[in-house]
Amino acid sequence: MAATPDSDVDPLYRDILRRNPGQEEFHQAVREVLDTLGPVLARRPEFAEAALVERIAEPERQLIFRVPWTDDAGRVHIARGFRVEFNSALGPYKGGLRFHPSVDLGTVKFLGFEQIFKNALTGMAIGGGKGGSDFDPKGRSDAEVMRFCQSFMTELYRHLGEHTDVPAGDIGVGGREIGYLFGQYRRITNRHEAGVLTGKGTGWGGSQARTEATGYGCVLFTKEMLRMRGRDLEGMRVAVSGSGNVAVYAAQKAQQLGATVVTVSDSGGYVVDDKGIDVDLLKQVKEVERGRVADYAERRGGEARHVPGGRVWEVPCDVALPCATQNELTADDARTLVANGVQAVAEGANMPTTPEGVAVFQEAGVAFGPGKAANAGGVATSALEMQQNASRDAWSFARTEERLTAVMRSIHDACHSTAERYGRPGDYVAGANIAGFERVAEAMLAQGVI
């Protein structure tokens, strides 16, 4: 069934629901994109005639596999591994691996679908994919994590390659896990194919600034949105959710640019630190000690207070950066933020704001940066890592950050100008969806029905 302008968007969505039952996050991601494509299909009927929307919404390949591993006591466990290779029209599949108990096929498909457009927005030659496992590395020893990663890669390696599929990290997959995965890939293939994984250590093929890139990029995108409104991040009060990699480095970059970041959070609650989060202490607690934000508050003394449970979005702020997980910021949270005077919201996580929450921000005139644009800095720097691997080169932190800054400005400008071109000025959601879709669709149209 080829989509036709406007009238077939709803039937197309119903068909996607029928073909992908129970995958609510994937449904949400597809609906959010479809809702902005009517004007594109009206202006570009060749996209509808070639059924490009239907083809983009169907992964090119979906892999599900068993991952057996043994714990330190010798007990055997069975996890499930996933890799969804969604679209390769622009380049090799590119997207992270997530190790978390919540991971299932629907989660991976939602993330992979978002990744198609995010990667297209970078302007680099990378397609979209995503993967992971329902394995939980939390509380596991290094030896257990190593054995799991080796088992996971023993199946996945046959589907990877620097010209085929290039995974990276995501929730639960950091430098330790990437190291074990790369070691097993190298062992099995007998090739030091550095470009097959990104997020590697800087001593063995990784890129400077990759660790910081997603959080930095989110703040840089926010800075550009504010600039378009004649404002600046300096002096603003910023609320950040989460306390993982993205949140930590979003906080660091925001404070480098003169803002005051007053919150971080985890599943146990949130911290309010009115004088500004001590990023060095937060890194020590979260990255070295693998502790909780409550530990940060205790170590900070009277400067910070820990609020068990609750909603981090209760804290008044000028800028909100949701950097934890999907659907963490609801319509009620959005209304609270608007009432407290929030001026800009940028998504550091993937789809952290519910559709109803997005609508609240847009109706209130808040500058809203969707994740596929605002958090594209991580994958952009992964592509820069691939460039360095291909040329056997290594760039300085300053050079890489300069390239990241240019990429985020380019993404912002593409979203802004595309929204204006389609009569939706200031609508970064529509701008990001349409700009990413047009680039992928044009490549697919040129390459035929495959």
pLDDT in tens, 80-96: 999 999 999 999 999 99
Per cent of the chain over pLDDT 90 is 95
In the three-class reduction of DSSP (H, G, I as helix; E, B as strand; rest coil), residue 382 is classed as: helix
Question: Could you tell me the pLDDT band of residue 9, with boundaries at 50, 70 and 90?
Answer: confident
Residues 172 and 290 in one domain: no
pLDDT of residue 6: 44
Distance CA 265, CA 257 (A): 22
Q: What is the CATH number of the domain that holds 280?
A: 3.40.50.720
- Residue 364 · residue 335 · CB < 8 Å: no
**Does residue 26 belong to any structural domain of this protein?**
yes
Domain count, the chain: 3
pLDDT of residue 3: 40
CA angle 293, 220, 234 (to 5 degrees): 75
CA angle 105, 110, 116 (to 5 degrees): 120
In the three-class reduction of DSSP (H, G, I as helix; E, B as strand; rest coil), residue 232 is classed as: coil
Residues 186 and 90 in one domain: yes
Count of other CB atoms within 10 angstroms of residue 14: 10
Question: What's the whole-number mean pLDDT along residues 322-328?
Answer: 94
Residues 314 and 176 in one domain: no
**Does residue 389 belong to any structural domain of this protein?**
no
What is the domain extent for residue 261? 212-374
pLDDT of residue 280: 97
Cβ-in-10-Å burial (0-12, 13-18, 19+) of 181 comes to: buried
Q: Which residues pair with 131 in a beta bridge?
A: 83, 97
Q: What is the CATH number of the domain that holds 136?
A: 3.40.50.10860
Q: Which amino acid is at 382?
A: S
Q: How far is CA 405 from CA 285, 408, 435, in A?
A: 28, 5, 19
pLDDT in tens, 152-202: 999 999 999 999 999 999 989 999 999 999 999 999 999 999 999 999 999
Domain end position, chosen among 193, 228, 256: 193
Question: Could you tell me the pLDDT band of residue 5, with boundaries at 50, 70 and 90?
Answer: very low
Residues 230 and 361 in one domain: yes
Question: Could you tell me the pLDDT band of residue 235, with boundaries at 50, 70 and 90?
Answer: very high
Distance CA 337, CA 280 (A): 28
Domain end position, chosen among 147, 162, 193: 193
Residues 246 and 300 in one domain: yes
Query: What letter does residue 207 receive in the DSSP assignment?
Result: -
Report residue 257 as tokens.
Answer: 């640019």
Q: Is the pLDDT of residue 392 over 70?
A: yes
**Does residue 102 belong to any structural domain of this protein?**
yes
Report residue 213 as tokens.
Answer: 């890139």
Residues 109 and 48 in one domain: no
Residues 50 and 69 in one domain: no
Residues 288 and 348 in one domain: yes
Residues 227 and 305 in one domain: yes
Question: What's the whole-number mean pLDDT along residues 1-9?
Answer: 48
**Does residue 39 belong to any structural domain of this protein?**
yes
Residues 218 and 311 in one domain: yes
Which of 270, 250, 230 has the alpha carbon at shortest distance from 321?
250
Average pLDDT, the chain: 95
Q: Is the pLDDT of residue 2 over 60?
A: no
End-to-end CA distance of the chain: 16
pTM for this structure?
0.92
Residues 172 and 97 in one domain: yes
Q: How many residues does the chain have?
A: 450
Distance CA 132, CA 275 (A): 38
pLDDT of residue 301: 86
Residues 309 and 237 in one domain: yes
Count of other CB atoms within 10 angstroms of residue 294: 17
Q: Is the pLDDT of residue 29 over 60?
A: yes
Range scoring the smallest mean pLDDT among 61-65, 102-106, 286-290, 359-363:
286-290
**Does residue 316 belong to any structural domain of this protein?**
yes
pLDDT of residue 215: 97
Which residue matches tokens 């205790």? 298
Torsion angle, alpha carbons of 254, 379, 57, 100, to 10: -80
**Does residue 121 belong to any structural domain of this protein?**
yes
**Does residue 416 belong to any structural domain of this protein?**
no
Strand 76-87's sheet: what is its strand order? 61-70, 76-87, 128-133, 93-99, 165-169
Which of 331, 198, 352 has the alpha carbon at shortest distance from 265?
352
pLDDT of residue 8: 61
**Does residue 302 belong to any structural domain of this protein?**
yes
Which residue matches tokens 């500058």? 367
Catalytically active residues are 130
pLDDT of residue 290: 86
Which residue matches tokens 């990744």? 115
pLDDT of residue 372: 95
